[in-house]
Structure 1
């Protein structure tokens, strides 16, 4: 399934719209990663644990978006937007992906 941030797909025309589709993931940051991030905050540098968690959550949100679009009969999701939010006191990360589920036809 094609997933793109653009409103169209080169070489195709949108032949049907199925509406807005979402993928959401809320994940907790474990205690060990939190300690590692706190140390990185103090001494500087990147937090590999947080980055890995963010990448995993983003990939899961996009996969959920694709699954929901597929269940609607869509071939693609266009206009995708990904949002990140920290919930509570920083222990929970929410990643949402949204876009428009569509069917595509190749251009002649």
Structure 2
């Protein structure tokens, strides 16, 4: 399965559009991760705990998108868009959504 943010796949032509597909992940950030991220915020530097959580959520959302495209018989997903949101009254939830168009290729 080819996943791309571009509207086409280099060297291939789109044969059929199968539909828009999505992948969504909402991930909670627990107290320990929040505490260690707070230390990074206080002392400066990058928060590897939040970065790891963000990377994991994005990879899971892309896997979900790929699985949904495969169920439609797609060879690729083009025009992928990735969005991030922080949710909750205490900003304790991270949401990653990905969307794109499932296609078959020649």
TM-score for both structures, normalised by structure 1: 0.95
Q: Residue 62 of structure 2 corresponds to which residue in structure 1? A: 62
- Counterparts of 1:72 and 1:87, CA distance in 2: 31
- Counterparts of 1:104 and 1:32, CA distance in 2: 46
Displacement, 1:19? 1.3
Superposed, 1:66-77 pairs within 5 Å as 66-77=66-77
Displacement, 1:18? 1.0
Q: Residue 24 of structure 1 corresponds to which residue in structure 2? A: 24
Displacement, 1:80? 0.2
Q: Residue 38 of structure 2 corresponds to which residue in structure 1? A: 38
In structure 2, list runs of 5 or more residues that go unmatched: none
Over 4 Å off, 4+ runs: none
The Cα RMSD (Å) is: 0.5
Provide the secondary structure at the position in 2 that maps to 1:60.
helix
Displacement, 1:11? 1.0
Displacement, 1:70? 0.3
Q: Residue 15 of structure 2 corresponds to which residue in structure 1? A: 15
In structure 1, list runs of 5 or more residues that go unmatched: none
Aligned residues: 105
Displacement, 1:77? 0.1
Displacement, 1:38? 0.8
- Counterparts of 2:70 and 2:19, CA distance in 1: 12
